[in-house]
Amino acid sequence: MFAFLRTLFFACFALVSLQLQAALVPASPQLAATAYLAMDAVTGDILVESGADGRFAPASLTKMMTSYIVEHEMAEGNVAETDLVPISVKAWKTPGSRMFVREGTQVLLGDLLRGVIIQSGNDASVALAEYIAGSEEAFANLMNQHARRLGLKNTNFQNATGLPAENHYSSPRDLALIARALIQDFPDQYAIYAEKYFTYNDIKQPNRNRLLWRDSTVDGVKTGHTDEAGYCLVASALRDDMRVISVVLGTTSDEARAAESQKLLSYAFRFFRTFPLYKAGESLNTAEIWKGSSETVGLGLAQDLAVTIPRGKEDQLAAVLDLPNLIEAPLAQGEQVGSLKVSLAGEILREVPLVSLQPVAEADFITKIWHSIVLFFKGLFE
C-alpha cells in the first residue's frame, strides 16, 4: 500500500511540475539593436518590445507605405499592373538603391512595384509616387493620410524612399502595423514580398531580406539601411497558422539585422500561441427581448476574436458575457447589446461589443402594452 501511495505521489508531483514548466516563459531576448518589437499579425498583440514607440529614421522601411498605397490604388481600380508609368528625370537621378529604370522610358506599374519591394529601388519609388499623386511631395502627404487612417501615432513621411530627410520618422509599433496592413488588406499582392530575385533591364538583383533564404517560414517584408538608421528589417513568418511580425531597427550590419530578427521570431513562436476564440456571426447567447416581434434574439460578435497568450496558460482563459438587465425592441442587426470580456488569470485581455445577430422589429401595440404591464410587476417583485 505504501509503495502504491508513493508511486501516486510522485506521479502527481511530476504532472504538476510539467504543468508549471509549460506555463513558464523566459525573459524576452535582449537584442543588439536600437529598438525592436514582435507582434502577432492576427491579434495585434505585442509579444516583445523595446523602444516600440520611439521615433527613428526608418530608411527604406518607408517603402512599405509606398507599396501599400500602390496596392490600395490598385484595389480601388485607380491604377493597374499593366499601366505604363513614365520615368522622369527626378526618378532616374534619385540616388541610393536602384532598379535601373531609364529617364524618358515607360515601365509597367507591376514591374515598378516589384522594383520597390524586391530591389528597394528609390528610382522606382519616385516614379510610382509621381504617377499616383503627381509629385513625390503630394505622395508624401498621401502617405501621412494613410498613416493616420491606420492609427499610426509616431510616424511622419517626407518622401517615398526613406532617404534621409528632416522630420521623416516612424516607430517599431507603427512599422509593424504597416506590415500587418499589407498582409491583411492585400493578401494577393503580399506574395511578392517573398520573391527572392527580380530581373529588370537585364540586371538580376536579389531581395535583401536574408531570412528568405534561411527560414522557409519567412515570407517578407522589407529591409532598410542608411547611416542614420543603421541596418533595419521588418520580417514576417507563418508557422502552424500563427503569423508573427518582427521589427528590428539600428543594427550594425546586414548579417546582424537578420540574426537579431531570427531571435525575435524564434522566441515568439516558441513561447506564445494564438488561440481563435469565436467567429463573427457565431451565436454566443440567446437573450430574452421585450416589446419585440420575436421573444428572443441571438447575440454574437461582429468580427472574429482571437488572443495570443503564453503557451501553457490556455486553461487560465475565461470569457464572460456582460448583458443589460433588460433588452427592448427595436434592435437593428449589428447593434451593440452588452459586451464580451476575455481574461487571462483574472486580467482582462479583450472587451469587445456583443451585437444582435438579427434585426428585431417592435411588437404590435397590444403586445407592447402587455409587456409593459409584465415588466412593471416584475420590477416590483425584484
Catalytic residues: 60, 63, 120
Helices 109-117, 63-75: crossing angle, 10 deg rounding: 150
Residues with Cβ within 8 Å of residue 100, at least 6 apart in sequence: 121, 123, 200, 201, 203
Q: Which of 119, 307, 140 is nearest to 201 (CA)?
A: 119
Give the residue carrying C-alpha cell 518607408: 62
Amino acid sitting at position 226: T
Q: How many CA atoms lie within 13 A of 262 on its CB side?
A: 14
DSSP 101: -
CA dihedral angle for residue 362, residue 364, residue 367, residue 369, rounded to 10 degrees: 90
- Cα 11 to chain centroid distance, Å, stands at 43
Q: Hey, how many other C-beta atoms are within 10 angstroms of the C-beta on 78?
A: 10
239 in helix, strand or coil? Answer: strand
